Amino acid sequence: MSDRAAVITFEGASFSYGNGLVAADISLDVGAGALVGLVGPSGAGKTTLLRAVLGQLKPVRGRVLVGGTPVGRTIPRRVGYVPQLESVDWHFPITVAQVVFLGRVSDAGPLPWPARRDREEVMTLLERLGIAELAGRQIRELSGGQQQRVFLARALIRRPDLLLLDEPTSGVDVRTRQEVLGLLRELNAEGITIVLTTHDLNAVAATLPELVCVNTRVVAQGTPEEVFTPDVLRATFGSDMVVFRHDGLLLTADAPPHVVDHPHHVHIHHTHEPTEPVS
């Protein structure tokens, strides 16, 4: 939990889509300037928490505050959101520049085309993200990393204080994942609070400064060192996992049967340094 003023606060909030609770009694603070990863299995409620911050899902109990104001009828203005790329219709006839400009729609004038100031801002942002030359391209023609940058640009054109990303590294290759994470760290260093969801414990979650483990409730919150324990991971994912250090990296893996029977015995071949189990 951050010592700085909370940008996001969940106060005993529970959420439902109609058939039972998908997230129950969530109490959570995300401090200003934090870079937080929400981890948990599919259906754990990670995306639900993002939707609640966006005001798209109201809690059936408790409340959600963004910048100290309850999220309700008014949608938080300085929040950027990057959805899962899997949800995007890549065949839609729309260009990179048009997608980015959509982030400005609620602030733009009544005319169909963007004002000169908006066009300039779109291009400045695309240049900053290294994709200015792709402005006129249809979104399907881009690589995975370029596509992720386009939707990041659409969120950034709102000049957000808070950036929410749903599985930003899902389905991308190693290089793209590293590019995206590097970009997010840059933005975070500029003062933008970032909350992202991820399934990837080793390549993404373990590299973030702060994690929240979720499985319809908050299981644990803290640094990777604090929350990556066999007990927390078992409570989060419902299965036995081992945690160990290798070459200075904190790593997790599914527990093989002999480790499940003897949880303190971990044997890894071909390591450069002794592999130490973390209890």
Partner 1 sequence: MNWLVDPWRSGIFVRGVLGAVLAGGLCGVVGTYVVLRRMSYIGHGLSHAVFGGAVVGYVAGNSFYLAGGLWGVLSALLINGVSRTRKVGADAAIGIVTTASFAVGVALISRGGRFTRNFEAALFGNILGITVTDLWVLAGVALAVAAALFFLYKQLLFVTFDPEVAGAYGVRTGMVDAVFSVVLAAAILASMRVLGVTLIAAAIVTPAVVARLSTSSFSRMLGLAAAVGIVTGVVGMYVSWYADVASGATITLTAAALFAVVYVRTLVVGRAGRRLAALTDLEVR
Q: Which stretches of the chain are assigned E, i.e. beta strand?
A: 6-16, 21-31, 35-39, 61-66, 69-70, 79-82, 162-166, 193-198, 210-214, 218-222, 241-246, 249-254, 276-277
Closer residue to partner 1, CB minimum distance, 156 or 205: 156
Give residue for tokens 């260009």. 95
Is the dihedral angle over the CA atoms 93, 99, 105, 111 positive or is it negative?
negative
Maximum Cα–Cα distance for the chain, whole Å? 68
Closer residue to partner 1, CB minimum distance, 96 or 266: 96
Binding characters for partner 1, 109-128, by CB under 8 A (x = yes): -x-x----------------
| Residue 55 touches partner 1, criterion: CB under 8 A | yes
Q: Which of 1, 21, 102, 278 binds partner 1 (CB under 8 A)?
A: 102
Q: Which stretch binds partner 1 (CB under 8 A): 30-38, 72-80, 178-186, 205-213?
A: 72-80
The DSSP 8-state label assigned to residue 225 in this structure reads H
| Residue 16 touches partner 1, criterion: CB under 8 A | no
Q: How many CB atoms lie within 10 A of CB 228?
A: 25
Q: Which of 141, 225, 261, 276 binds partner 1 (CB under 8 A)?
A: 141
Tell me how far, at minimum, the Cβ of 40 lies from partner 1, in Å.
21
Nearest CA to 156 among 181, 124, 179?
A: 124
| Residue 73 touches partner 1, criterion: CB under 8 A | no
| Residue 81 touches partner 1, criterion: CB under 8 A | yes
Q: Which of 56, 69, 124, 271 binds partner 1 (CB under 8 A)?
A: 56
Nearest CA to 93 among 134, 141, 125, 132?
A: 141
Is the dihedral angle over the CA atoms 145, 149, 152, 154 positive or is it negative?
negative
Q: Which stretch binds partner 1 (CB under 8 A): 87-95, 119-127, 198-206, 263-271?
A: 87-95
- Residues in Cβ contact with 21 at an 8 Å cutoff, skipping those fewer than 6 apart: 14, 15, 60, 216
Rounded to the nearest angstrom, the gap between the alpha carbon of residue 176 and the centroid of all alpha carbons in its chain is 15
Q: Which of 103, 168, 224, 230 binds partner 1 (CB under 8 A)?
A: 103
Tell me how far, at minimum, the Cβ of 207 lies from partner 1, in Å.
27
User: Applying CB under 8 A, which residues contact partner 1?
Assistant: 18, 54-56, 75, 77, 79, 81, 83, 87-89, 92-95, 98-99, 101-103, 105-106, 108, 110, 112, 138, 140-141, 143, 154, 158
